[in-house]
Each structure stands twice: as C-alpha cells, then as structure tokens.
Structure 1
Amino acid sequence: MKPADVFIAVLVAVIWGLAFVASRIALDELSPALMTALRFGIAAAPCLVVAKPKVSWSLLVAISFTLFLGQFLAQAYGIAHGVPVGLTSVIVQSQALFTIAFAVVAFREWPTPMQMVGVTIAAIGLLMICATVGYDFSVGAFAVLMVSPISFAIGNLLLRRAQGVPMFDLFAWLCLTAAVPLFALALASDGPAPTWHALTHMSLTGLACMLALGAISTSIAYWLWGRLLRDYPAAQVVPFALLVPFVGAAASSVVFSEKFGPLRLAGMVTVVGGIAVMLLSKRPRTVPVIVE
C-alpha cells in the first residue's frame, strides 16, 4: 500500500475507535434509538445530491438493517445499559468470527486451518469475557450487544451482492434507509415530546459528538474504507481494523477511567489475537456447490 493509504487506513481505525467514546457521551443525553437515528440522519445528508445506486430496494434494506441499523442500535443499547466502551469495541470486532461462520453456510467458503485456529482462539476469548458478565452490567445488556457483531457479519456478506456501484452513494442511501425506521422507533419508544425535547435541548458537547459520529465516523470514514477495499486486496486493508478495539479501549480508559479485571482483560486480548490470526491467514477456499 502507498504510505498515504496506510495513513488513511490507520486514521479510519482511530476514528472508529474514538466513535465508541463519542457514542457513550451522546447517550448521556439521547436514547439509544434516537442517538442511532440521528447518527444516520446526519450521514444520509448526501442523499440530497446523490442518486440512489442501482441496487434493488430489497437488497438496500437488507444491507442497511444488518450492517447499520442492527449493528449500531445494539451497540448503543449495550453501552447505554452499562457495557464498558472498551469491551464493546472488542465485542463488535468479533464480527470476523461470525462472518467466517456464516460464509460457510451462505457461500460454502470453508476456513483454512489457520482461520480455524483463529476462530477457536477468539471463541475462547469470548467465553472468558462471558464469565465476567453480571458483575458490572447485566446479562441482558450483553446479550443485546452480541446482536451487533452478528448483524455486522450478515451485513458484510450481503454487501457482496451490491457490486459495481459507487461506494459513497451506496453508504449514503444505506444510512437513509436505516435512519427512517430508527426515527420512527425513537418516536414510538420515547414519545414525541421527549424526543423533541432531547433534540432541542442537546448540549454543544452532545451536538459535537453526533456530528462526529454522523459526518466523520459514518459518512467519511466508511467512504474512505470502501475506497481502500476497492483499490487493494481485502487482506491488506482489513487487518487495520484490529487497531479499532485498542483505540477504543485506550480512549475509554483515559476519558472514563475504565479498568478491566484480569480475566476480562485476558479475554479481550485473546479475542483480538484470534481475530488477528483469522484476518492475517490466507483466503478461504470456495467449494463449488454440486448440483445432482
């Protein structure tokens, strides 16, 4: 990769890591549904000037509801209900484990031996983290948070079907498709008056966090990441995502004084190590489907 593109890849990872901190701050003023809706509402602004990409509405909705709505709403709920920000950033990246598992079912892409080693290591790390659940946050919050990497993984696979369309246009319309039902959910769950009050009484800090989440972390960062995936093999780009949980955990420890017990810290490191083995191994071999 060119040095400038390496810098961009690192920058995107740092932006995504810091986004977990911004989400936690914004959730002090907004409900999970409203915060997520506002995030995608801001990121959908380019839809005013870019046309809908040439993909079917059914595919657009399917990608949006998994890659964006499901992933980020579950994240917001988990953080709002006490799951530490640093831990959340690690759990979300376990999507690599689920992506490999779902690819076996959907595309018969069997993992290589090294990828199986990585899956095993990451799974052990998740079990170690599960053993710490219930002390400082509820089992229910953790269960909802686990929807995030699962939705992320499904969205990754669905995204393969949107080939040959402008990446920026696609992500803008994915954001719009997620924002509309999320605003409806916020109105239904929070009520019109509380929703309006939260939006009109947002502090400058909350507004800055939402602009950073919508315009920078979602719109710009995803566009840059898409360009990198377009210009380079995924094996060169995707490993940079390993920086995200480290940035998220480090930033959370500084901003919120977040600390991790020995078992949870060991589990987090184990998950990231397993993901590293998965991402740095060779591509899985695709087994053709035999039609009798």
Structure 2
Amino acid sequence: MADKRWAYVGLAVVAAIWGANFGFSRIAMESFDPILFAFLRFGLSVPFFFAILYWKEGNVGIPIRAALQLALIGLFGVTLLEILVMYSIKYTTLANASLLNVAPWPIFAALFAPLFTKESLTKRLAIGGIIAIAGVSLVILGGAEGFSISSENMKGNLMAFSISLIGALFNLSCMPLMRTYSALRVSTWFITFGALFMLPLTIGAWGEVAWSELGIREYSVTFYNVLLCTVVSFIVWNASMFRVGAARSNFFRYVVPATAVAAGYLMFDEGISLWQMGGGVLMAAGLVWISIDRKNSSS
C-alpha cells in the first residue's frame, strides 16, 4: 500500500508539472510555432530517454511487433494528440477546451479499462470521480470566460472532446505492453515515434524563429518542457499508472487545470475566483477519496 501512496503522489506531482506548463508554454509561443515547439519538446527528450533506458536496463531494443504497436501509440498519443490540443484552443474558448479536454478523459479511461486491463469501476472510484469532476468544472467555469455553446465554437469543441477519447485509449493501450516491458522502455519508444511523425509537420517553421535572439527565458522554458514535462513526467506517470491502474490514475489529470489557474495567477496576475478555490478543494477531496480505495488497501 505504501508503494501505491507514492504512486498517487507521483501522479499528482506530474499533473501539477503539466498544469504549470500552460504558463510556460504561453511564454514559448511568443518565439516558437506551436507544432515546432511541441516537436522540440519531444524530439529533444529522445536522447535522454535512450540514455536513461540504456543505463537502467543495459539495452534499448524492442521487438518488431511491439515496435509497430508503439509506433501506432506514438502517432495517436503524441503527434495527433498534441496537434488537436493546439487547434482546439484555436477554434474554441480556453474554458471550453479545458473542460472538454480534461473532464471526460478519466471517464473514458474508466469505461474502456476492462477492454485492456482487469480493472473494474468500483463504487468508491465512481463517487470520487463525480466529486472530482464537479470540482474541476468549478475551477474551469469559475473563471472569467465560462463555458460557451456558440455554434462558432463547435469545431473546437469537437476537437477538445476527441482529445479525451483518444487520450484515454492512448493511456490504456500502454498498459498491456507495460506488463511485458518497463514503463521506461514503453515511454521511450512511443515518444520517439511520436516525435518522428511530428517532424515533417515542422517544415517551414524553423526559418521563422529568430534563433540568435533567444535568451535565458526561452531556453529555460524549453529545458522545463524537455526534462520535467516530458522525460521525468512520462516516466513517473506511466510507472505510477501501471502501479495503481489507468482508470484511477487518470482522475489525477484534474490537477492540471487547477495548477494552470494557479500558474496564471502567479505568472500573469490572472484572477482566481472563490468558485475556483472552492472547486479546487472539492477536486482534491474527490482525489483523496479515490486514492484511499479500501478495496485495494490490503494490496
């Protein structure tokens, strides 16, 4: 049980790192094309992944069959997902994108988990999930933008909603592979393939960057994205997810928008409403309820 507690801590910390990255990425977008910056994030992380994998396990290989599976996971879970995230923000409001991107993801993970793993939807997980969903909805909708059902946002809304479905299936598809290979090996290879598929999409964007004018701020943001948001976070998230289960783990994604709101307050002087603070408390209560599932307390 102690190992699972550390896994829950790992999930929460990683989600907070990803949430804070909304603020750092906003800074990066002043200098980089969005798809180019996404490629830099994943592409520059590849050598680190392979170095750590070789150091930890003595080799970096993967069988052809597994490589084909991981290539497909990388295509959908890294390349397509990153593009959808960027364009959903372009074609709808930030509140819509955040809510439709984040809120349904754990629900889809819980619903489809039995197809990939032996996980089941427990009563405690369902109750905790409902509480967490209510909390994260208040965090997102309690801001100035609110939720919009305007027809002009429909394209972006559909993109954001599809992120939740694809993302949940992406997480779940890794679970069977991690029963044979380590979370580190699985992460290394699907990120490598995702970066390779993303590379052709950056053609034309490289020459638009004023590379000689980049300073410590831009390099610091890139460093944060590559090492913390990608290398450390994917290794910790996948290892923790394998330990406690995909359905339970994905509810911790609700920490992402809460941390993003906090980052906006600290970095850009954006306001935080009482509704958002209350939502954060409610979300935390739901996640604590999930993480102390009595059914697994003896394991």
Alignment TM-score, normalising by the size of structure 1: 0.71
Which SS does the other structure have where 1:164 is aligned? coil
Count of residue correspondences: 276
Q: Give the alignment's Cα RMSD to 1 decimal.
A: 4.4
Aligned to 2:57: none
Aligned to 2:33: 31
Equivalent-residue separation in structure 1 for 2:6 and 2:135 (angstroms): 36
Aligned to 1:17: 19
Equivalent-residue separation in structure 2 for 1:62 and 1:26 (angstroms): 28
After superposition, residues 41-120 of structure 1 pair within 5 angstroms as 41-46=43-48, 49=51, 50=54, 51-54=60-63, 56-79=66-89, 83-84=93-94, 88=98, 91-92=101-102, 94-103=104-113, 111-117=121-127
Whether 1:212 aligns to 2:228 is no
- Residue type of the alignment partner of 1:175: I
**Shift, 1:74, TM fit:** 2.4
Structure 2: segments with no counterpart, 5+ residues = 55-59
Whether 1:144 aligns to 2:159 is yes
Deviation string 1:203-231 (CA, Å, 9 cap, x unpaired) is 2223321221122211122213334456x
Alignment TM-score, normalising by the size of structure 2: 0.70
Q: Pick the aligned partner of 2:259 from 247, 252, 257.
A: 247
Q: 1:277 to 1:91 in 2, by over 3 A?
A: farther
Whether 1:233 aligns to 2:248 is no
Q: Pick the aligned partner of 1:178 from 171, 179, 194.
A: 194
Equivalent-residue separation in structure 2 for 1:108 and 1:226 (angstroms): 17
Which SS does the other structure have where 1:56 is aligned? helix
Q: 1:184 to 1:268 in 2, by over 3 A?
A: farther
Which SS does the other structure have where 2:181 is aligned? coil
Conservation of the 8 A alpha-carbon contact between 1:52 and 1:170: no
Q: 1:132 to 1:261 in 2, by over 3 A?
A: farther
Whether 1:40 aligns to 2:47 is no
Equivalent-residue separation in structure 2 for 1:69 and 1:275 (angstroms): 31
Q: Which has the higher helix share?
A: 2
Which SS does the other structure have where 2:257 is aligned? helix
Equivalent-residue separation in structure 1 for 2:212 and 2:96 (angstroms): 28
Deviation string 1:46-73 (CA, Å, 9 cap, x unpaired) is 3654423345232102221233223333
Conservation of the 8 A alpha-carbon contact between 1:96 and 1:275: no
Greater Cα offset, 152-161 or 194-203:
194-203
Aligned to 2:184: 168
**Shift, 1:275, TM fit:** 6.5
Which SS does the other structure have where 1:66 is aligned? helix
